[in-house]
Structures are given as structure tokens and as C-alpha cells.
Amino acid sequence: MAIILRLDRVMADRKMSLNELAEKVGISNVNLSNLKTGKVKAIRFSTLEAICEVLECQPGDILEYKAEP
């Protein structure tokens, strides 16, 4: 099972930088960068909610499930 993070794609669609999103969500650039690059093993619902609110998207726009063969 693999969860793929599409945060970079949504950010690009909204023309929002990492620094701008981190500031609006209230998390550090490092934590957001780790999330964006898929280097995290978990995300708090409150963080996901804040990201979705700022980017005006749904969690499914950011997270994608892909079955591993």
C-alpha cells in the first residue's frame, strides 16, 4: 500500500509558495517541506484541515492511494 502526496501539484495549481503556505497554515517550512516531499509517516488532521482550508481543496486532492503490485 502506498499513499502518494500531491501537495506540490496543488500548490502549483494555486501558485502558492512553500513559505507562503507554511506561514498561512502555521507550521514550519521544514515540516511543510518534509510533507511535500513525502518524508513523513503521519499528518495530523488539524494540519491537513488547515492546508485544505488555505488551498481551498479536499484531502483527496492532496492524498492519493496507489496499490503496490
The torsion angle over the Cα atoms of residues 45, 48, 49 and 52, rounded to 10 degrees, is: -160
Judged by DSSP in three states, 45 sits in helix
Segment 54-59 mean pLDDT: 97
Output the pLDDT for position 69. Answer: 77
Segment 19-35 mean pLDDT: 95
Asked if pLDDT for residue 26 goes beyond 70, the answer is yes
Give how far Cα 50 sits from Cα of 19, 41, 43, 66, Å.
15, 18, 11, 24
Q: What is the pTM of this model?
A: 0.89
Write down the residue that cell numbers 500548490 correspond to: 11
Measured CA to CA, the distance from residue 61 to residue 26 in angstroms comes to 20
- Band of the pLDDT at 38, cuts 50, 70, 90? confident
Segment 18-44 mean pLDDT: 93
